Structure 1
Amino acid sequence: MRNDPGDARPFIPRDLALHPAAFDPGYKTSVLRSPRQALISFQNTPTEITGPMFGHDTIGPLDHDLTRNWAQPGLSAIGERIIVHGRLMDGEGRPVPDALIEIWQTNAGGRYRHVRDTYVAPLDPNFGGCGRTLTREDGSYAFMTVRPGAYPWPNRANDWRPAHIHFSVFGHGFAQRLITQMYFEGDPSIPLCPIVGTVPDAEGIAMMTATLDMDATVPFDARAWRFDIVLRGRRSTPFENRPEGN
């Protein structure tokens, strides 16, 4: 386990006002899967404030590099090369080291490598669309990837998802589990998306939006986007589509 239940402290409660509502008529699949009764809060138990421990030997040398981890030797994924980086912090602003972060995304054309994705955009034979890494001692992380494309989805007559990257975070306890989406600053599709619209206010959407970071850009190679993640507490990054989990 990650820590001793006798020494672990309860996590700071979430501010549900910042998180997506479980029921949102504009996001059609939420209508049937949302709970019909009010949520009930419980005190943290030892199984929630402890969690799995991940070792660096479980991470491959290219797991963080989506441009190469699926590519044939000497080849690379097609698209705008980007670096996605930031820090993982707890509700009190402290770094969360040795936490597993996994990401998945479409290719540059807006298509997932998934049997159920039937979008007409072609698959990239050198792009798998997923990666993982462990946070460093200061809570920092970084991925090399390509900027994902937008794609249509069958919600209403003409809905499109903005460019986004899915994040899955395993903190130091199961109550710090977080699944969220990262959007790109300046994307005009963000305010048009019904899934983004489930987040109740602009502050919550801003917490899910990466900012361009020219200081971390590699000249003539890749632009950088910064995306800091907060687990639990008032400033916690909103959970993807529903107010449970982190």
Structure 2
Amino acid sequence: MTTPRRFVERDRNWHPPAYAPGYKTSIPRSPNQALVSLQNPSISELSGPDFRKLRMGPHDNDLLMNFRDEASPGLPVGERIILFGRVVDQFGKPVPHTLVEMWQANAGGRYRHGKDRYLAPLDPNFGGVGRCLTDDDGWYRFRTIKPGPYPWPNGINTWRPAHIHVSVMGPAISTRLITQMYFEGDPLIPICPIVQTLKDSEAVQTMIGRLDMARSRPMDALAWRFDLVVRGALQTYFENQ
């Protein structure tokens, strides 16, 4: 039986406003009515799902291997990296056996998506998606390619910083978090219209992965650490709030 968990209220000043004209697509997406507060959440919001019996493929968390073209097998083009981190709850306790999913553009900045019309070519050996379960101590790990930046039609010459999208369920349905990890030192971060919707510099820092040379593999891949807090006043910034 799953034990219900106590939640800490979000700090709404920590998150950007739903309506942020500088980020143009927030205009049609922003709600027209006030948010509704659920005072007495049911057991369905306070527990589950349980992913411990979810069957994972041998390369689900290895994006260098999970989309290789068998007709002409090869490795994806780009800088090989390791993405890892720890998932914790609002009290700093690890969240074990929860599902972490990620998706990203390739090294040229293009997604494997039918509506992506960026000029960069697709990589026949790179799908750009992966998943894994956290271990007993809340740790997750992926091997992938560092994504490239890409232009988007928010302005005349607007570019998204290199980033990886991450979804994590947390200990319950209501703690699901969808966010983006940016790379430490990227000069595009402070001028990104999406990032600029955040007025708290500390909140921006929750979305930046840190280079970790101790976890890097010599002559192979640099490692980037990205920890996730799934609930509470200082949770990792939720990208579509």
Q: Shorter-normalised TM-score: what interval?
A: over 0.9
Contact 2:98/2:169 (<8 A) preserved = yes
Normalization by structure 2: what TM-score? 0.95
Cα distance between partner residues in 2 of 1:211 and 1:138 = 20
Number of the residue aligned with 2:49: 52
Partner of 1:26: 22
Q: Retained in 2: the 8 A contact 1:88–1:228?
A: yes
After TM superposition, where is structure 1 displaced by more than 6 Å over at least 4 residues in a row?
none
- Does the 8 A contact of 2:179 with 2:237 survive in 1? yes
What is residue 87 of structure 1 aligned with on the other side?
86
d(CA) in 2 for partners of 1:88, 1:48: 19
The DSSP-based 3-state class of the residue aligned with 1:16 is coil
CA–CA distance in structure 2, aligned partners of residues 147 and 11 of structure 1: 35
Give me the identity figure in percent: 56
Unaligned runs of at least 5 residues, structure 1: none
Whole-angstrom distance in 2 between the partners of 1:241 and 1:40: 17
| TM-fit CA distance, 1:46 | 1.5
- In the alignment, the residues of structure 2 paired with residue 238 and residue 57 of structure 1 have an alpha-carbon distance, to the nearest angstrom, of 27
Kept after mapping to 2: 8 A contact 1:21/1:241: no
Secondary structure in 2 aligned to 1:18?
coil
Return the letter of the residue paired with 1:50. S
Counterpart of 1:125 in structure 2 is 124
Per the TM alignment, residue 212 of structure 1 is displaced from its structure 2 partner at its CA by 0.4
Instruction: Say which of 53, 59, 63 aligns to 2:60.
Output: 63
Q: Distance in 2 between the 1:216 and 1:198 partners?
A: 32
| 3-state SS in 2 of match to 1:87 | strand
1:29-52 deviation digits (Å, cap 9, x = unpaired): 111221123323222321111121
Question: Which residue type is aligned with residue 80 of structure 1?
Answer: E
Q: Residue 215 of structure 1: SS of its match in structure 2?
A: helix
- How many residues align? The count is 238
Q: Which amino acid aligns with 1:72?
A: D
Asked if 1:202 corresponds to 2:201, the answer is yes
CA RMSD of aligned residues (A): 1.3
Distance 1:56 1:46, change over 3 A: closer
Contact 2:161 2:186 survives alignment (8 Å): yes
User: Which residue number in structure 2 is paired with residue 214 of structure 1?
Assistant: 213
Gaps of 5+ in 2: none
